[in-house]
Structure 1
Amino acid sequence: MTSAFATYPGYRFPAEIISHAVWLYHVFSLSLRDVELILAERGITVTHESIRNWCRKFGSEFAAKLRRRRPKPGDTWHLDEVFLRINGVLHYLWRAVDQHGVVLDILVQDRRNGSAAKRFFKRLLARLRYKPRRLVTDGLKSYGVAQRELLPGVRHRSSRYLNNRAENSHRPTRRRERQMQRFKSAEQAQRFLAAHSMIYGHFRPRRHLMAAAAYRRVRMKAFQIWRQETCAQAAS
């Protein structure tokens, strides 16, 4: 890692410790108290509330930096939505991934009608700044409404059997939802999941498609980028 003298303004702990805590919390299914215990074993005394503040403050910043560094995603978008129950109210987590399983974006909304689908499409197009060659969705008719209005020239395949890639990408979210004993607000869910999908995915390449040597190279590159974006640049 980088020198322990690398710091973030206003924080007494080195950038190395803060970034490591954020990495532990987002990459593994750990609670804030679990991260506190791991750091304590290494002689670092910090409360779980401080770790919570670090993750809230730096999680989104680190995710944004990683997003800028990722290669251009693929041209086939798989879209899916799952329900989230927040304070007893039903919400929907909209997610888009490319054909390689890379998460493109997520959006928490309280509807899954045509207006909600169009809002998610507009967010994707604004962030990615290119149009896909093909869309793959389940049978929800709201996707067709948004596709015909915003992406009329894009081929759209609608089938519950073709969208496993997007459905499988929801699994880390479900694990974290159980670990966190559900989300407390739509804003908290959006903030956490947007950072989590980027940081978690950065360290989770499709290992089953790689030879061992290739996977080790990709993993080493992922750690190198993480250190550059969370520690080295903060010290400069």
Structure 2
Amino acid sequence: MNIPSSMSRLKGFRCPREVIAYAIWAYHRFALSTADVEDLLAERGVIVSRETIRLWVNRFSAHFAACIRRDRPKPNDKWHLDEVVITIRGKKHWLWRAIDTDGDVLDILVRTRRNANAAKRFFKRWVAQFGEPRVVITDNLRSYIKPVSALAPQADHRAYKGLNNAIEVSHRLTWKWEKLFGRFNSHRQAQRCLSAHDQINLILGPRRYQLTATSYRHTRNDAFSLWAAYTAEMAA
């Protein structure tokens, strides 16, 4: 990816917006540390500290994730819902994740509890945004029963752990993140990082094994074009 400087500079930032966008792209696309991104930029003649890159990621990742949510097509009407435990400062938290049958992540929610209230808050967001699904697949957690029946009464709710293997694959992103960068320091950090990372990888990480080489190149070029357009929308 080239780093041109044709766009206007963000007010208050020394580096062009393309440099900031490139750093965020590399950080999320390859799950690199800020030190790794610092070295990539240095090789291109851009000298910034890893702390500066961390601030860029924290400030602008949400912008790219919001643009992707805004422009993404309506997801498939068959949803998989699941929750996995994560540890934050020695305390157990629950990461709730929803994907459609194509494996695209709708979004995530980090909560301290694994009960009906948490399940309702989680499920309600996606029904309000995308409408009622046709099929909802969950594990055997009983906390899903009332929220699904109340918010999507026409949906076919299938509660069986063996049917939910697709979302277990999606959880691997979280485990990979924790393996590379260690545990999250706060509830807010986990929500911010994972929510943005899942959405950004929808366009930056197409399933290569499902595509021919030509189709993959077209998909990759489309992703680069979208990223450039979202870069142009960045605001200080």
Q: TM-score, normalised by structure 1?
A: 0.94
1:234, CA displacement in angstroms? 4.6
Instruction: In structure 2, give the amino acid aligned to 1:75.
Output: D
Distance across 2 between alignment mates of 1:180 and 1:161: 30
- What's the counterpart of residue 114 of structure 2? 112
Q: Which has the higher contact order (CA 8 A, sep 6+)?
A: 1
SS at structure 2 position matched to 1:33? helix
Choose the corresponding residue for 1:9, options 1, 8, 11.
11
Deviates more, 1:81-90 or 1:170-179: 170-179
Deviates more, 1:41-50 or 1:209-218: 209-218
Asked whether the equivalents of residues 2 and 227 of structure 1 are also in contact (C-alpha less than 8 Å), the reply is no
For residues 101-135 of structure 1, what are the alpha-carbon distances to aligned partners after superposition, in whole Å with 9 as ceiling and x for unaligned?
Answer: 11001000011111110010112123x23111000
What is the total number of aligned residue pairs between the two structures? Answer: 233
Distance across 2 between alignment mates of 1:211 and 1:93: 34
Residues 1:138 and 2:131 are matched in the alignment: no
- What's the counterpart of residue 179 of structure 1? 180
Choose the corresponding residue for 1:87, options 80, 86, 89.
89
- What's the counterpart of residue 24 of structure 1? 26
Instruction: In structure 2, give the amino acid aligned to 1:46.
Output: V
For residues 187-218 of structure 1, what are the alpha-carbon distances to aligned partners after superposition, in whole Å with 9 as ceiling and x for unaligned?
Answer: 11001111110112211222222222112111
Q: 5+ residue gaps in structure 2?
A: none
RMSD of Structure 2 on Structure 1 (CA) = 1.5
Residues 1:201 and 2:197 are matched in the alignment: no
1:67-106 equivalences in 2 (<5 Å): 67-106=69-108
Distance across 2 between alignment mates of 1:151 and 1:112: 20
Q: Which consecutive segments of 4 or more residues in structure 1 shift more than 6 A?
A: none
Q: Residues 117 and 233 of structure 1: is their aligned pair in 2 closer, same or farther, counting only changes over 3 Å?
A: closer
Distance across 1 between alignment mates of 2:108 and 2:90: 21
Residues 1:59 and 2:66 are matched in the alignment: no
- What's the counterpart of residue 167 of structure 1? 168
Distance across 2 between alignment mates of 1:234 and 1:159: 43
Identity in percent: 48
Q: 5+ residue gaps in structure 1?
A: none
Q: Residues 121 and 234 of structure 1: is their aligned pair in 2 closer, same or farther, counting only changes over 3 Å?
A: closer
